[in-house]
Amino acid sequence: MSRSTVFLTKRLQGKTALVTGAGAGIGRSVALRFAAEGATVLAASRSDNVETLSGEADGEIVPLRCDVSDPAQVAATVAACRERFGRLDVLVNNAGIGHANARLHELGLDTWDRVMATNLRGAFLVLKHAIGLMRDGGGGAIVNMASYGSIRASAGSSAYIVSKAALHSLTQQVAVEYAQDNIRCNSVAPGVTLTPLVRSAPSEVIAPKIAATPQGRAAEPEEVASLALFLASDEASHITGGLYLIDGGRSAL
């Protein structure tokens, strides 16, 4: 199947979705794909880039400024969703950051705290508020953007790796606690993906990871968006608590 395949059935027709970290990379691709699949998308990001999304979308996207590490901003974002739409059917917890290459003993506490505040605490804050709105509407689907690093260590990335491993544990916890509320929760775990951050990274950092991928290439953000779409759709109605790798076979080695 071509990576440019156009799906004729709009799988999120009539649904409201919240996508965090939607200003660039995977989050941006997810927001655009969900809108094209019929969802009304609230695209949240701390980046100014999110404001341009509505002009690119084949569908409805409402840009929102939100730093997920700020509890007040998260609460305001979900409150805006409730006030404007009265429901939330899909959440993609995508906002995340990395850090410069450093071994554990070299990592500053401020860096550790900053990564955890976005990647783990931020995801918790979004879930805390969004789940209440989903329950009021009769259920929903959650996709947490984990990582290949959720299951494999990578030298020099300790804060990022630990935050993504913990994020999948959070996925499992949500799946178990809210199954009876008709809320599903899954993790997507990309390998090297050609986001702006990866494209700007030194080749000596990225090239070995691509070389270690059996397919011999990195993922495109649109490919990750396709997996998130499936898990968010009703086609995945009996899938919850899982971790779904999209890494070109790297984890199979």
With b for 16 or more beta-carbon neighbours within 10 A and e for fewer, the 80-96 pattern comes to bbbeebebbbbbbbbbb
Q: Is residue 26 part of a domain?
A: yes
The residue range of the domain holding 39 is 16-202+240-245
Any idea what the CATH number is for the domain that residue 43 is in?
A: 3.40.50.720
Predicted TM-score of the model (pTM): 0.94
The pLDDT-based confidence of 197 (bands split at 50, 70, 90) is confident
The predicted model gives 127-139 an average pLDDT of 98
Looking at 148, 160, 178, 244, which residue is catalytic?
160
The predicted model gives 233-244 an average pLDDT of 98
Residue with tokens 């993922």: 219
160 is an active site residue: yes
Per the CB < 8 A criterion, the answer to whether 210 and 244 are in contact is no
Q: For 123, what's the count of Cα atoms within 13 Å in the CB-facing half-sphere?
A: 28
pLDDT at 6: 52
Q: Is residue 167 part of a domain?
A: yes
Cα–Cα dist 83/182, whole Å? 22
Q: Is residue 192 part of a domain?
A: yes
Residue with tokens 């084949």: 58
Helices (H) and strands (E) in the chain, counts: 9, 7
> Max CA-CA distance within the chain?
52
The pLDDT-based confidence of 246 (bands split at 50, 70, 90) is very high
The predicted model gives 235-242 an average pLDDT of 98
pLDDT at 171: 98
Q: Is residue 2 part of a domain?
A: no
